[in-house]
Amino acid sequence: MANLKEIRNRISSVSSTMQITSAMKMVSAAKLKKAQDAITAMRPYANKMTELLQSLSATLDADSGSKFADQREVNKVLVVAINSNRGLCGAFNSNIIKQGVRLTNETYANQEVSYVAIGKKANDALSKVGTVVSNNSNVYDDLTFDNVAEIAESLMQQFVEGDFDKIVLVYNKFKNAATQIVMTEQFLPIVPASDETNVNLDYIFEPSKAGIVEALIPKSLKTQLFKAIRDSFASEHGARMTAMHKATDNATELRDQLKLTYNKARQAAITNEILEIVGGAEALNN
């Protein structure tokens, strides 16, 4: 009977786990809809801003003074790793951490690499392998453009002051609930548009070219960072919903197997008791 008790305890434990994973799946599904709508609505604007930024930077001359387009020798690199504050979302967090480490060990092996963590998981992991300049995990408490703009301003200031020669973003781009694409995107210096995408572009600058540069470029950079964080936020909920769905399915399958094992063991125990009773009755008759 002790064996039956152990099986019952396991069935109870698995059932409790299944209820938790099912609840987390539903919560993530509800949050995913809102996050997906937000990034879907933002992408056209952000992409157009990036296109304008690249086109404008391609027309800049030395006198225009774009401090954000300064292409200098790369000695110090800052990797902005964007992930989440919580786990239970499959490989969502580990993919970003692996990419950050890969950039350090391979792409920028000859440069000094530091990190900015946006998300507690990135801070915890990357602080063990390198220098984390700042941790901005609290941005998810109130994910607004203004809060993200403060982070972007800090990054721009560090680039202008020469603390870093290159800043790259590493984040998960949302494709659908089951698929997230790891992106490595240059933030600073600004990447000029290629000649093919900048053909026959004749801009009229009003009020002035310098004024446009001063206003548009910082806003575009803030929008680029906000889009990356929004993409990561939607990807997190998609990854968690998928992971919890699989966990619920696995828990359901395990519970069913345990119930079958329990019924077989119970049937065997009842059969043994009947055999003992019959055997005792036969002994009395003899």
Catalytic residues: 89
Phi, psi at 91, each rounded to 5°: -90, 15
Which DSSP string do the residues of 162-206 spell out, in sequence order? TS-SEEEEEEEEEEETTEEEEEEEEEES--PPPTGGGTT-----S
d(CA 90, CA 244): 9
Cβ atoms of 132 and 118 closer than 8 Å: no
d(CA 225, CA 167): 11
Tokens of 120: 């507690």
d(CA 25, CA 18): 10
Residue 113 forms beta bridges with which residues? Answer: 77
Tokens of 218: 């910082």
CB-based burial label for 57 (10 Å; 0-12, 13-18, 19+): buried
222 Rama sector, left if φ>0, alpha if ψ -120 to 50, beta otherwise = alpha
Cβ atoms of 85 and 120 closer than 8 Å: yes
- Name residues whose C-beta falls within 8 Å of residue 164's C-beta, 6 or more positions apart in sequence: 76, 77, 78, 114, 158, 188
